[in-house]
Structure 1
């Protein structure tokens, strides 16, 4: 059994990770740390877990072999952006413990190292071999995952120039802490653009596209190569992306290109029919659909922001790191209605 520790288990991604690992056949949760909920039952905070676990949140840390609750194989960091780096600076995690960070602290190559750790960008569709031998993983962002999966085959074929993309996300993408735009009374029957052209995931997206297509610029080289307008939606979970590029290939050629690129991936699928959000909510799947008018190609992609966009992908990475079948514990059912 893989012994697991979780730091920051009271939020949306932490709760989703706990739900997955409780039912994972090869994982055992040793501790879940939360400063704000130390001593409380996990099911007191994540109330759907009543009857499924008697674990309580802890606030003590003592890393090292044979030291009780922290005798673990892998540590998940479900902290706020910027807090993961601070945590690793303040706590000496033994080299033998693998680390999977769900924040954005280590996703960019120039920020991927701390102490004796080098973080690998955890997108299995392009970095599977590196993930399998990694000690530390920077889990991709939710918008970043969905946008990248829609564009990676084009990058591999050296077909990308300027990209215009828009996407809508559910309220869980904003985190559990209440804000003016996350209250039900604000979200219901409402929609809003936010972080127009400045979203924090732009850097990691361009980095991955550059990895496959060297001519595509990094964000620091050309921040206008990828224009992204995100939207807040009036639903709880899921992301739907539409990316527009100019491309001369026929739709048939493009579908063949995409299906060949993803033919050996565990969770990414190319659809011949229009896609919709309910296909992916509550699953670790990403689905893609292509439309073409003239020279304009629109790539639609959808996923669950808390699963393939966060905790599900983190478990997928854990499976790869420990030599398990990639889909272990992640064969989840979509909510059709």
Structure 2
């Protein structure tokens, strides 16, 4: 097939860099432009230094009207900060012939004809979409822990969640809690019970179970590591562990990236991959679901490429057979 011409808007940040690492090795993609107002004119590798020798692309600051033509790009990824994508779509006349995949939170409520892009939830809708809102990283991990229960109507009580993320989840802009001297050898809670991903988690669960109205009590942690998320989720469950495992195996059959593990799991198993590993334990009527992902791949850029593959009729794992760091 002909290559898909891709543009990246906001390409100097973590998600833009991760997209480039994947797309430069994608067999059916040609990266047409990488836009960055702050880095315009500079080599891409001067910001994403590991890409030295992989690409001669320069960041462009050209006007979007000159870049967003159907002959120049088939799809664009929006990788700027939250709030910027709404402004971008309002300020630019993006043809319906150009697929838009937004990695911010701006369209996750599916307004303006955007489709929420969690393939394990609504693969068929994504395949027909031209506007996709990529899920949040915590939301991806927690939703993948809970979707099989929601589908079966088994979320009958409150859901308790504690989850920890690496420093890249905060983005590239510096803040007091992202400096090495503060983050190293440190763990902290933030946005307890109020995290912004709660809205999309509830939206996804009620897509499968409109009667779900119980509380989702979510306590997020900042970890002293670079990338990865571990979510520990528990809720009452009246069946056996084997019944729960069968429920999860059945739900994720045919989904290439989400896998049930009989053994306990850890973050390093999935770092640098588009995988989600899930482990189940049953304790006195409480089902404990542990879910691990890489916040920059399955939680952001990898899932965005997975959505691109679905839109353009490619196998979901094209360009995404990535090796974990393992140790």
Q: Aligned pair count? A: 324
**Please, which runs of 5 or more residues in structure 2 have no aligned partner?**
none
Task: Please give the alpha-carbon distance, in whole angstroms, between the structure 2 residues aligned to 1:125 and 1:95.
Answer: 25
Deviation at 1:83, TM superposition (A): 0.7
User: Match for residue 191 of structure 1?
Assistant: 187
- The answer on 1:266 being equivalent to 2:256 is yes
Q: Alpha-carbon deviation of 1:330?
A: 0.2
Q: CA deviation at 1:199?
A: 0.4
Residue 21 of structure 1 deviates from its aligned partner by 0.5
Q: Measure, in 2, the Cα distance between the counterparts of 1:198 and 1:159.
A: 24
> Secondary structure at the residue paired with 2:298?
helix
Which one of the candidate residues 221, 225, 232 is aligned to 1:242? 232
Matched, 1:5 2:1: no
2:162 to 166, 171, 174: 166
Distance, in Å, in 2 between the alignment partners of 1:264 and 1:19 is 26
Unaligned runs of 5+ in 1: 218-223
Query: Which position in structure 1 is the counterpart of 2:61?
Result: 59
| Deviation (angstroms), 1:294 | 1.1
Q: Does 1:231 align with 2:232?
A: no
Measure how far apart 1:63 and its partner are.
Answer: 3.8
Using structure 1 for the length normalisation, give the TM-score: 0.94
Alignment of 1:217-228 (within 5 A): 217=213, 225-228=215-218
Q: In the alignment, which residue of structure 2 is the partner of 1:182?
A: 178
TM-score, with length taken from structure 2 = 0.97
Counterparts of 1:126 and 1:187 in 2: how far apart (Å)? 34
Matches within 5 A, 1:1-337: 1-63=3-65, 71-109=72-110, 112-113=111-112, 118-160=113-155, 161-217=157-213, 225-337=215-327
RMSD over aligned Cα atoms: 1.3
**Which residue of structure 2 aligns with residue 221 of structure 1?**
none
Contact 2:68 2:94 in 1 (8 A): no
Q: Deviations over 1:98-124 (max 9, x none)?
A: 100000000014xx21xxxx1000000
Q: How far apart are residue 61 of structure 1 and its match? A: 2.7
Measure the CA separation in 1 of the matches of 2:208 and 2:269. 28
